[in-house]
Homo-oligomer: A and B are copies of this chain.
Amino acid sequence: MATIREVAQEAGVAISTVSKAMNGSYTISEEQTKNIRKIAARMGYTPNARAQTFARQATRSAVFLTCLDRNAAFENPHMFEIISGAQSALRQKGYALILQHCDYKDICATVRDIMDSKRADGLLIHASVVTHELSLLLSRSEIPHIVIGKPEAGQRLCWIDNNNRLSGEIAARHLYELGHRNVAFIGGHESDRISEDRLIGVKSELPHTTILRGDSTIEEGKRITAELLRLPKRPQALVCANNHLAYGCLTALQEAKLHVLADISLITFDDYPFALYMRPALTTVSIDVYEMGIQAGKLLRSCIKKPEMQIQSFTTVPVLVKRASTAAPN
């Protein structure tokens, strides 16, 4: 309720002195600073954030913009986690995180509005596709921004993504070390960059991997697996590019009366909650999504602090979560 003016009067100093004392300027003596802070506390003075925002010409806030369609966003159980990570990293330095959602078609208009209205000091964009138009808009913008997800080649953007290639390598190495040589990869279509990157990783460790592709759905996982089981030389281990495929795969294996672990191993990526609840619990190569959010927030912070900063990117390091779906071949 009290304003800086009243505090200044009470303390018998100038307004500017109170401001400096509250913000800790070295031009105010320690004694004076302490005294002013004590008086401010006694009067219940809290700086008015609206006035600070205006005076500082900075909101101390960032927008987390999601541009997935609603269902896709809700089905991604990591969404809240990554946002929370970003929130935490930003809040730690006094930045608020504003959540905003828009349709793909509105994304440029939305970004432009955030820029022009100056309602935030930074922007985190979580979009599965960064169009050329958006990339251009961002590169010309004055607002610091980070893209979560890997941009197209040639787009000069700060971004953060999972190291999917490394994930693939880790999965393949795990199988290799268990003794598997006859491995099949069940992936999405060739246009699915995440799936493809994982495949590259797998192939770098196990070059002779059989590859099958389909839509990333449970049904397709089931169908592809069934097809795979009809092959003359049945694989000893399966790598599923994502959880949907893995779930379909698991179902098909059960229907074929195959025992995961004794007969065949299965490994997948992204630790969706249901990976733990499956029977058997699925071994996965996943990443610490909360940490990824933290890194995104930190990277944005440094972009805000040093706008002249070089383009940077950051890939999170995946970890193997061993559960009950992988074992040595018998």
Which chain A residues have a beta carbon within 8 Å of chain B's beta carbons? Answer: 44, 46-51, 53-54, 57, 59, 61, 64, 70, 73-75, 77, 79-81, 83-84, 87-88, 91, 96-101, 113, 116-119, 218, 247, 251, 273-274, 277, 279, 290
Contact = CB atoms under 8 A, between A and B. Distances in A.
A247 B279 CA distance: 11
A149 to B, nearest CB: 17
A143 to B, nearest CB: 13
Contacts of A277: 218, 247, 274
Which of A64, A98, A113 has the most chain B CB atoms inside 10 A of its CB? A98
Contacts of A113: 46
Contacts of A119: 49-50, 96
A116 to B, nearest CB: 4
A117 B47 contact: yes
B84 A101 contact: yes
Nearest to A47: B117
Contacts of A88: 101
Contact of A116 (B44, B70, B83): B44
Contacts of A46: 113, 116-117
A32 B35 CA distance: 54
A276 to B, nearest CB: 10
A199 B51 CA distance: 51
22 contacts: A46-B113, A47-B117, A49-B59, A49-B118, A50-B53, A50-B118, A50-B119, A53-B53, A53-B54, A54-B54, A73-B80, A73-B84, A74-B80, A74-B290, A79-B80, A80-B80, A84-B99, A84-B101, A91-B101, A98-B98, A247-B277, A251-B279
B100 A87 contact: yes
A116 B49 CA distance: 9
Contacts of A101: 84, 87-88, 91
The 8 closest A-B pairs by CB, nearest first: A46-B116, A54-B54, A49-B119, A80-B80, A49-B117, A274-B274, A96-B98, A79-B80
Given A84-B70, A290-B74, A57 B61 contact: no
Contacts of A47: 117
Contacts of A48: 117-118
Contacts of A74: 80-81, 84, 290
Given A53-B54, A77-B77, 9 more contacts: A46-B117, A50-B118, A50-B119, A70-B290, A80-B80, A91-B101, A97-B98, A97-B100, A218-B277
A273 B77 contact: yes
